């Protein structure tokens, strides 16, 4: 059974640029959620994808967008990067309706300069 | 809106001492509460959930709806318990979790 893998592990971008983060979900999981974890804070829900559609969104602006592919992998895209976007971005996969069964990835550390 | 509060950023105890990590939540409906743990250099993982009423690695947590609390307890701390602990709230039957800010538990010898 493979776990959740995220790429890249670290990334440095300039303010105003765009970034794409990738996530491969655990085998057998059909739902992917993305979280942002700022330094010293708990993870904050960005959005969730199920059946290739957004299925719930947290308090994040539209410049945060995502995709889910037929193989359940997912991308998180952030446009017009701001300094405050610097954080650890976590991907978590699960089976729809079984939210407790989250498997988290190790995260992508994004630094915006 | 729902909220999870973990008042302690750091909790330091001696090995063999009892541990209690505090968690309070704010939610008007029927909550589902979880504890997640992150050991050093490892990814976030589920420790336990209130629905299952189980004990994992000696840890237990009871949901107290009157006090809106879900404190994590262990009678005798072990060195390997040192980690970051997050309390999380799931609402509305969806997959969204609201996390607290976490408590770093340090077990000293």
* 3-state secondary structure (DSSP) of residue A45: strand
Chain A residues in contact with B49 by the CB 8 A cut-off are: 100
A56-112 confidence digits (pLDDT tens): 899 999 999 999 999 889 999 999 999 999 999 999 998 876 656 788 999 999 999
pLDDT-derived band at B93, boundaries 50, 70, 90: low
Contact A77, A20 (CB under 8 A): yes
- C-alpha span between A86 and A41 (Å, rounded): 13
- In which residue are the tokens 């829900």 written? A45
B5-38 confidence digits (pLDDT tens): 999 999 999 999 999 999 999 998 888 899 999 9
- The chain-wide mean pLDDT, for chain B, equals 92
Task: Indicate the residue of B34, B49, B95 with minimum beta-carbon distance to A94.
Answer: B95
- In chain A, the residue whose alpha carbon lies closest to the alpha carbon of B91 is A99
Q: Which of B90, B97, B5 is nearest to B44 (CA)?
A: B97
Chain A residues in contact with B53 by the CB 8 A cut-off are: none
- pLDDT for position B31: 87
* 3-state secondary structure (DSSP) of residue B95: coil
Contact: A42, B99; criterion CB under 8 Å: yes
* Mean local confidence (pLDDT), B31-51: 91
- C-alpha span between B82 and B75 (Å, rounded): 15
């Amino acid at each position: 059974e493979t776990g959740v893998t995220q790429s890249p592990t670290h990334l440095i971008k300039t303010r105003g640029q765009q970034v794409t983060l990738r996530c491969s979900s655990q085998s057998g999981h059909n739902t992917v959620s993305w979280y942002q974890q700022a330094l010293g804070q708990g993870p904050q829900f960005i959005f969730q994808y199920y059946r290739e559609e957004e299925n719930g969104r947290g308090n994040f602006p539209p410049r945060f967008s995502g995709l889910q592919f037929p193989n359940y992998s997912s991308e998180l895209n952030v446009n017009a990067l701001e300094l405050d976007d610097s954080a650890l971005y976590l991907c978590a996969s699960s089976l729809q309706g079984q939210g407790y069964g989250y498997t988290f990835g190790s995260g992508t550390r994004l630094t915006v300069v | 809106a729902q909220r999870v509060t973990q008042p302690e950023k750091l909790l330091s105890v001696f090995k063999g001492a009892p541990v209690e990590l505090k968690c309070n939540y704010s939610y008007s409906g029927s909550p589902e509460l979880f504890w997640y743990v992150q050991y050093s250099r490892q990814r976030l993982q589920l420790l336990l959930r209130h629905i299952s009423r189980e004990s994992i690695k000696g840890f237990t947590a009871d949901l107290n709806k009157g006090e809106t609390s879900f404190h994590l307890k262990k009678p005798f701390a072990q060195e390997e318990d040192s980690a970051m602990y997050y309390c999380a709230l799931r609402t509305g039957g969806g997959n969204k979790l609201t996390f607290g800010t976490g408590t770093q538990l340090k077990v000293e010898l």
